[in-house]
Structure 1
């Protein structure tokens, strides 16, 4: 599509300012930098909620503040609910005529990385680089026919729905792994030598410092069963020194419970990686976030990111291979009771949420006997392999999704 077919955004949108008089609307939303509406975490005690803005289905909210600093313009289209309220600091706007421009097509344009780069370039207001409303409305986009817009949206939805389906399957697989862990290592109903649930069929138990455990099992510190526990550092120069390809650098934003996210995965050159050789990752290593709001999130290193290093916010936990405990420790660290213990550690005696190496070293666990550990490892390994396949599938779908968004600039009628 030629530049002649590009139109000013301002020709197709208009500001909306409807206030919550009479407190008609209760649901309060916030706006994330990832261009999504999220439940608001704002402290609203004593706040006049009548002054908040109402946003309705198919209307947009955006933030034009700090665009240059964040290198993104937060903007989202409300579709999940019919109406909500949002801070009066956010401009609300809508498409003037949906027979000429579909809101979903416009939102696709806003999701393009190229849009964010242009918004960042135009953001010159204030110290942190705010985007003036007039500069935003002067930005342009190509507008094909409504028929073509519908075709593009349908294609986009097909990809998005496949990603959502994979995410749902991943969640079910996670729940399955956790259910097996609870059955075997919380309820101690793992299969005995006759294939029957151990504890309820008279399996011998004994007291320990962590409570009742099967006879012959042990209480061990993580340090005693691991060949490595340690975190890395950020290369000199920080974010500005990262590369688009090379050796992976895992940061806390990549680590979720059971799932490794490749979003915003950073890369190092050979020289930077060599300086971090001491925190090289191996397959089956466990990654544990040890600082910040994501503290205690935990996953296993997937093979597709290797070779890789970690920064100072992520800890490597490497169980000794002969114990067959990688999958067991993953489920143990993700289990709600143990997660609560880790979060308790992170919030004690510190000005910010953090877990130290000494605290991880000394974290006590129940160590099962070798035959049960091996059986659990084999059983759960199949589930985790399926999760990794679904993650890889979604990575490819995300690439296709981004390619489709990039091609909007060249779409012909």
Structure 2
């Protein structure tokens, strides 16, 4: 044991409190991202008295580690009391003035703890990391003043990240509402700055769409509206030289989460790009997932970097940012309709041809050029980039804990 490290079992105690009388109804599970989440179990008609109560400042963790990848599902309860599966294990700090719970939770967020817990897991068909193993965890326990200082620094970063995420979501919500107001309800500002349709703006019937649209507006396909459309490719995974450098970002459909894209989980080499059908896509390309896991299909992403993608992504390259951001929000708001025309078997997929033929209602040039989506997307980019760097700083704080002075 390092000189400044202590055995965790000397600082914590187990908590076992059954939900007597079914008083607590909020059943929770724990994500391997280390937070409590709503349990998927249907509790109707279930006797909840067999579940275990988790109160504020108590820890709960799933001792089963077999199906959890490289993460341990553990979380510190904040807010209202809840109940968890009786297979979970609970404990708390014996004295908050000696070992701060939030400081301890920071230790559990370190990848080093996950690796340790997986290494110490035992069993044949199923592996477990139980309370006995938790007691043997070693960590630095500096003065309570130092612990609180570290927690404060960490929370400052975390709270800023959360604030940026809320701002980003508000911008997204506002942009979607504005798109509907302008391009669905046709209440864009007229020459006098008044809402077009409700103040008598001229409407004409369009047979193709079977609805009235503003005079001068046109219907085009995505292919007609775009400059180019491309799909990606996956270099051979069996050739290490294609994947052993950080030359070119390479995106998977799971990374298209209806937002701004500034980085990727994987990269390919220049050689991998050259010897495959992968392509470099320009900044401001709009990506749409043709297929993928779960709800991935039809999700979009807005590139703020040059990147390549896998073959399940369709990239749409527009004339400029005005057209690209307009297209992005059209695809965002019409995802359900777009996905509904997918073809295939048990899991019908989109295709490049289907996406090419998506119909767009294109406004007059002066209306299109006055929408604010470029400014919104650029602001979202700045928030996303700030959070990227803040997340790196958060990880630095966690990594420095192992060098904490007493």
Given the two structures, how large is their TM-score scaled by the length of structure 1? 0.87
Distance 1:323 1:58, change over 3 A: closer
Partner of 1:249: 250
Partner of 2:335: 339
Q: 1:14-413 to 2 correspondence within 5 Å?
A: 14-66=13-65, 70-79=69-78, 81-127=79-125, 129-208=127-206, 209-210=208-209, 211-226=211-226, 227-233=228-234, 235-237=236-238, 245-260=246-261, 262=263, 265-276=265-276, 278-289=278-289, 290-295=291-296, 296-303=298-305, 306=306, 308-319=307-318, 321=319, 324-335=322-333, 338-345=334-341, 350-352=345-347, 354-376=349-371, 379-413=372-406
Structure 1 range deviating more: 226-235 or 195-204: 226-235
Deviations 1:120-168 (A, max 9, x none): 3333533575435433332211111111111111111111111122112
SS at match of 2:259: coil
Greater helix share, 1 or 2?
1
In the alignment, structure 1 segments of 5+ residues that lack a partner are none
Q: Is the 8 A contact 1:125 1:132 kept in 2?
A: no
Q: Is the 8 A contact 1:286 1:326 kept in 2?
A: yes
Shift of 1:233: 3.2
Q: Is the 8 A contact 1:68 1:124 kept in 2?
A: no
SS at match of 1:317: strand
Structure 1 range deviating more: 150-159 or 293-302: 293-302
Measured in 2, the distance between the counterparts of 1:156 and 1:167 equals 17
Distance 1:40 1:261, change over 3 A: farther
Structure 1 range deviating more: 310-319 or 108-117: 310-319
SS at match of 2:282: coil
In the alignment, structure 2 segments of 5+ residues that lack a partner are none
SS at match of 1:375: coil
Q: Is the 8 A contact 1:291 1:355 kept in 2?
A: no
Deviations 1:63-118 (A, max 9, x none): 23235861111211111x22012222322222222222111001000111222222
Q: Is the 8 A contact 2:278 2:310 kept in 1?
A: no
Shift of 1:400: 0.9
Structure 1 stretches of 4+ moved >6 Å: 238-241
Distance 1:331 1:339, change over 3 A: same
Measured in 1, the distance between the counterparts of 2:8 and 2:66 equals 18
SS at match of 2:384: helix
Deviations 1:312-344 (A, max 9, x none): 44332223x179421011111222xx1332354
Structure 1 range deviating more: 396-405 or 91-100: 91-100
SS at match of 2:315: strand
Shift of 1:244: 7.5
Distance 1:360 1:258, change over 3 A: same
Superposed CA RMSD: 2.8
Measured in 1, the distance between the counterparts of 2:166 and 2:190 equals 33
Given the two structures, how large is their TM-score scaled by the length of structure 2? 0.88
Q: Is the 8 A contact 1:292 1:352 kept in 2?
A: no
SS at match of 2:86: coil
- The count of residues paired between Structure 1 and Structure 2 equals 401
Shift of 1:275: 4.0
Q: Is the 8 A contact 1:292 1:353 kept in 2?
A: no
